[in-house]
Structure 1
Amino acid sequence: MLDPMTVQPGSAIPDHRFRHLLGETAWQALPPSVRRRFGKRLKGDASLVYRGVVVAMRRNIAGYLLSQLARLVGAPLPYDRTSLNQPAVVTVTEDCAGDGQFWIRQYGRASGFPQVIHSSKRFAGPTGIEEYIGSGIGMALRVGVEDGGLSFKSDHYFLQFGSWRLRLPGWCSPGALTITHRDLGGTRFLFSLTLESRFFGELVHQDALFHDMEVQP
């Protein structure tokens, strides 16, 4: 059995992309376990797996309507409160063509098929990192350190089809998205997602508790 904080030989190489985005001072402020998770780049067909459980889930009426509407473009927001206390699995692989990472998030539900969210983080754009959810929809992110954890905050949303790109005005965006990765010691960490609106307050919030698994070839 491999130690969950290591990877198989040859499956990963050192990666300084997140380190460069944060700057040396902020990077060194992160716990060593967080630096290890975000300081390696997967090679070939290797994948990194995190397994956990959803421990908090809430939304208001506006958030419910938005998450249901978002199902038309791939369901990027948690839409079922029955995912609470259900298993969650996150798989990360390298997006070689897009100079980034593919993220697949699977959230169990009390009944029916689990919710599966696909996205690609690419090290591009005016902020240095963007997330694409498909259907031409993307989001520029700002990476920072908060309370000893790594945070990703939406800077702006955009539509892109080929070389054509349109930055959406603030009033047209679904809200301010914040994702945090907070280390809890050992192999455990908390993944939190919060979407807030100037007009409707907190739309959606989800916490999932994960622990590291070994990289699978």
Structure 2
Amino acid sequence: MNATPLIRQALGPEWERLGDVIRRHYAMTPFSDDYVCVRGTMREVWHAPWAALLMPFGRLFGALVPHQGTDVPIEVHYRCRTDDPHLYWDRVFHFPGRTPFHFRSHMEAAPTGGSEVIEYVRFGIGMRLAVSAEEGALVFRDRGYLWRFGRLRIPLPLGLLLGTAYVEERPDPSDPDHFTMKMLLRHRWFGDVFRYSGRFRLGKCE
């Protein structure tokens, strides 16, 4: 039973290169009931007009945020569980005039080990993510999609449609308890498909 935090496992010695607020953010212990919450505002939540065609599939798999907006309040709940080593996410977007939208997923260490994790949504659909520490920031880079079926992990060519993901969480130098984040899905031919960015505070969500 490995009690090292998931992101620390992936980064190894690079963990120490992360900013303090990012390390505190991801210091949760596998096989525990550790819980962290961050609250903030998404400066932008956007998708390309044609990407609306993908939303029914996104809702089915729980993988895409179907609404757009600016200055969108959000909190993100991170949990570990006592019965497995994974990290669970619940991102709650509060779009004006709409029911709060939950984007849920969980992360696992890649079976190959090394500096890679897999983020899963519903029905075993996952994205392989290379993890790195860059100038204090935690960076995730898309390494392809897969479908987990039993013990099999079958590569999926979803990148041909959705593009390639990039995510970063970067310490805010103006406040030791704040960080910024951005997520971008960019297609090599069609440009930006999805993106959102915001600023968060590490602390309790009451």
Task: State the TM-score bracket (shorter-chain normalisation).
Answer: 0.7 to 0.9
Between the aligned residues of both structures, percent identity stands at 25
Matches within 5 A, 1:62-211: 62-74=50-62, 76-82=63-69, 84-126=70-112, 128-169=116-157, 172=160, 174-184=162-172, 185-211=175-201
Query: Does structure 1 conserve the Cα–Cα contact (< 8 Å) formed by 2:10 and 2:109?
Result: no
- Residue identity in the other structure for 2:80: E
The SS at the match of 1:86 is: strand
Partner of 1:5: none
Asked whether the equivalents of residues 33 and 79 of structure 2 are also in contact (C-alpha less than 8 Å), the reply is: yes
Q: In the aligned structure 1, how far is the partner of 2:15 from the partner of 2:159?
A: 33
User: In the alignment, residue 108 of structure 1 is paired with which amino acid?
Assistant: H
Structure 1 contact 63–203 (Cα < 8 Å) conserved:
yes
Structure 1 residues without counterparts, runs of 5 or longer: 1-13
Q: In the TM superposition, what is the alpha-carbon distance from 1:207 to its structure 2 partner?
A: 0.8
How big is the shift at 1:53? 1.2
Match of 2:4 in 1: 15
User: 2:29 is paired with a residue of what secondary structure?
Assistant: strand
Q: Is the 8 A contact 1:95 1:120 kept in 2?
A: no
What is the RMSD computed on CA atoms of the aligned residues?
Answer: 2.4
**Aligned length in residues:** 200
Aligned partner letter, 1:160? R
Deviation, structure 1 residue 65:
2.9
TM-score by length of 2: 0.85
CA contact (8 A) 2:17 2:134 kept: no
Q: Which runs of 4+ in 1 moved over 6 A?
A: none
Conservation of the 8 A alpha-carbon contact between 1:62 and 1:200: no
Q: Select 1:58's aligned residue among 41, 46, 55.
A: 46
Say which SS state the counterpart of residue 23 (structure 1) adopts: helix
